[in-house]
Amino acid sequence: MKVGPQSYRGIEFVCLDDLPASQQILLKSSPDFPERIKILINNKTVENCVQYKDYEQWFYAVYKRSVAPAESLSLQTAERIGVNLAFDKA
């Protein structure tokens, strides 16, 4: 599931720690893309973030082509044999 952006002073971003576990795992395997940024919010540095436009690009180019099809296939297979599976959509 694609998460929505947070916004601060016109910067749309997502914090990697707020993403679903499957996305965090894939992003850890690619530490250079999307580029990580730090944002100073109320004198506190928020680290491990990416610009939302970069996250969206990564989501469709990498995540949707690797993890999401496998989850969909597993769900279809489970439904066919009558097993109820629940995937973490957080």
Query: Residue 28: is its pLDDT beyond 90?
Result: no
Q: Does the pLDDT value for residue 12 go beyond 70?
A: yes
Using 50, 70 and 90 to split pLDDT, how confident is the model at 90? very low
Under the banding of pLDDT at 50, 70 and 90, the label for residue 82 is low
Q: What is the pLDDT of residue 71?
A: 56
**pLDDT tens, 29-74?**
877 789 999 999 999 999 999 999 999 999 988 888 876 555 554 4
Task: Tell me the mean pLDDT in the region 17-33.
Answer: 86
Report the 3 state secondary structure along the chain: CCCCCEEECCEEEEEHHHCCHHHHHHHHCCCCCCCCEEEEECCEEEEEEEEHHHHHHHHHHHHHHHHHHHHHHHHHHHHHHCCCCCCCCC
pTM: 0.70
